[in-house]
Structure 1
């Protein structure tokens, strides 16, 4: 059963809790979404609040995928650029699919829904995202049409003596 995607859903306590559960489950399964396991919902809450502030200020958009049971199964945040010379592209952040749904094609569905959402924003020529090296994520994004356009060696420190590359990917929309 495919996910049902919603752009800019109402932020309810159930949605907030669903995103916190998703984010902690993805992080604790080793997902590269800004944290290193083990993490709790309370570790993640301040970062989610920052994302919600961006939504309230109109700087970000939220794309949520719900599974057949109505549970939050996937998310991506689309962030507008504020620099006047970079208004023609957006960032994609916090791209997650719940571990219980991985391997079903939902990641590709999420990336396609994010591209469709960005195209609907108007005058957006491309999507940029970054991913953590060492996990093969760049191969997944490349299979979704993204191209590696930059790499900062050792920019992400996940543990002492464990530095990973910060890989910059771009999806042209035009």
Structure 2
């Protein structure tokens, strides 16, 4: 599933839309990314399929067109990357959403999949979800703030040494925003 070399995007807005095969692909991608050192929600690799499946199943169960969606990128009928975008229902903050679990399968790195996902989520958030801004938190020390900065995201703060990956390996959590 490609269009002139670009990924094809699929939104999953309801857990009933997630086929068993697509669920397996998503979990396998998450395991691969995490075990390769990716900052994808599991800080202490290695992780197993079953460990990730428990978290993935909770996310799948919480999908709702107004509050939480998966955005998946496919290349040649293979899941190349995905993310989750969520809106809080609290009326004070319902105008913004948060992007979670941004990841590109290691087999598709350096092919622009992550940037394409981030451009597509911008469109989905603004045009389909009616959001005015997006937030995300990124792990410091791996250049993610540069990646997101090139896509228009602005750093708005840091929690210094908030993330302890190992003794002596503390990282900042970088807070970023994108105005839509």
- Normalised to the residue count of structure 1, the TM-score between the two structures is 0.93
User: Larger deviation: 50-59 or 90-99?
Assistant: 50-59
Residue of structure 2 in register with 1:51 after alignment: 59
Is 1:94 the equivalent of 2:101? yes
Residue of structure 1 in register with 2:89 after alignment: 82
2:12 aligned to which of 1, 8, 12: 8
Gap runs ≥5 in structure 2: none
Is 1:61 the equivalent of 2:65? no
Compared with structure 1, are the counterparts of its residues 57 and 159 closer, same or farther at alpha carbon in structure 2 (3 Å cutoff)?
A: farther
Report 1:89-128 matches (<5 A).
89-128=96-135
Is 1:151 the equivalent of 2:158? yes
Root-mean-square deviation (Å): 1.5
Deviation at 1:32, TM superposition (A): 0.5
Number of residue pairs the alignment of both structures matches:
172
* CA distances 1:12-69 after superposition (whole Å, capped 9, x unpaired): 101110001100111111110112321111121121122112205953111011111x
Gap runs ≥5 in structure 1: none
Aligned with 1:151: secondary structure?
A: strand
